[in-house]
Amino acid sequence: MSIHVVLHEPEIPQNTGNIARTCAATGAVLHLIEPLGFSLEDRYLRRAGLDYWPMVDLRLHSSWDAFLEEERPSSLFLLSTRGTRSYHTCSFPDETYLVFGKETAGLPPRILEAFPDRVVRIPMRAGARSLNLSNAVAILVYEALRVQGFPGLV
């Protein structure tokens, strides 16, 4: 069983560092799709991830198309405030890829339109624009793991 967190063109190193720490603590694989809004050597990225970086299975992809070709994901869940289905209604299979867009714009329309039945949202109050990216990732990772019975976690 494995959860994959996919960040499409992330922009803020602290968010990615926090997400890396969540991945390390849960065993989720972290995929970063370029271009990134920071260097992987960024001190803020490293600081947010603390000493967890050696525990992270980090995979870098040059583009969305390269990601699809290299990973051939069988079960994608695209997170977007434009989704109409809540994440809590999803069944997360053994090999789940949770895809998140960049902080300022989310996922591009071409990706959302390519997988319309895979777009889900986190419920929020009317008028709230979005959650912080690292918080949204943590919510979805733990929900997917809960559905799967928290495999390998104590």
pLDDT digits (tens, 9 = 90+) for 23-62: 999 999 999 999 999 888 867 666 765 678 889 999 999 9
Cα distances (angstroms) measured from residue 153 to each of 26, 50, 127: 7, 20, 36
pLDDT attached to residue 52: 81
pLDDT attached to residue 43: 73
101 a known binding residue?
A: yes
pLDDT digits (tens, 9 = 90+) for 87-115: 999 999 999 999 999 999 999 999 999 99
Domain segments of the chain: what residues?
Answer: 2-147
Full-model pTM: 0.94
Neighbours of 8 (CB within 10 A): 22
Q: Can you tell me the mean pLDDT for 65-87?
A: 96
Q: Can you tell me the mean pLDDT for 11-15?
A: 92
What CATH number does the domain located at 2-147 have? Answer: 3.40.1280.10
122 a known binding residue?
A: yes
CA 52 to chain centre: 17
**Does the pLDDT of residue 72 top 80, yes or no?**
yes
12 a known binding residue?
A: no
